Structure 1
Amino acid sequence: MTVTLMWEAAGAPGRGPELLAWAREAAAAGPPGYLRREFFTAPGYRVLVLTWWPARSAAVELPAPPAELVRRDVHRWRFTSVEVAEP
């Protein structure tokens, strides 16, 4: 079983690339032990980071980015895997 952490930030206008770079650096500086990590972007300078952790580990969320990079508070959710379907 795994725990997936979802971290989503809405970048300040024009700051999306900087926010993505910050998220990549913050994730790389975090503790080891994750199983997988993915970064996504979307319109509106949004950045989404998903990290997968063993259920028994201390899954670690990304911190909040510098205030000048975002236009609102970061959203964070934790999900527990219940099924994996392969094609």
Structure 2
Amino acid sequence: MTLAAMWEARAADGRAAELTAWVHATALPALRGAAGLERTEVLGAPGGRVLLVTWWEGAPVAVADPPADLVARPVHRWEFTSQHVE
């Protein structure tokens, strides 16, 4: 069973680039080599939102919270089970 784990943070005003850099420098390296990790993708959205989606075969590994000064609110996390792929 494939699970998608979504991690979404909203950057503090003017800090979206720093938050994205933190994801690339800290969050992604912490996941590399984790058992069951199939794929990762980092996305950006208006309003300074940064989304990290990871796909897992089995239980996902939790992504850490970024430094508090980089975010405007607590990180949101969701897990989904794959239902259909084309």
TM-score by length of 2: 0.89
Letter in 1 for 2:6: M
Kindly indicate whether the alpha-carbon contact (under 8 Å) linking 1:2 and 1:54 is maintained by their aligned counterparts in 2.
yes
Q: RMSD of the alignment, in Å? A: 1.2
* Alignment partners' CA distance in 2, 1:59 and 1:31: 12
Give 1:21-32 correspondences, 5 Å limit. Answer: 21-25=21-25, 26-32=27-33
Give 1:56-71 correspondences, 5 Å limit. Answer: 58-71=59-72
Q: 2:84 matched to which residue of 1?
A: 83
* Partner SS, residue 73 of structure 1: coil
Report how far residue 30 of structure 1 moved.
2.4
- Counting aligned pairs with the same residue, the percent is 52
Give the total of aligned pairs: 83
Kindly indicate whether the alpha-carbon contact (under 8 Å) linking 1:31 and 1:60 is maintained by their aligned counterparts in 2.
no
Report how far residue 31 of structure 1 moved.
4.8
* Alignment partners' CA distance in 2, 1:8 and 1:48: 4
Structure 1 segments (4+ residues) deviating >6 Å: none
Q: Which runs of 5+ in 2 are unaligned?
A: none
TM-score by length of 1: 0.88
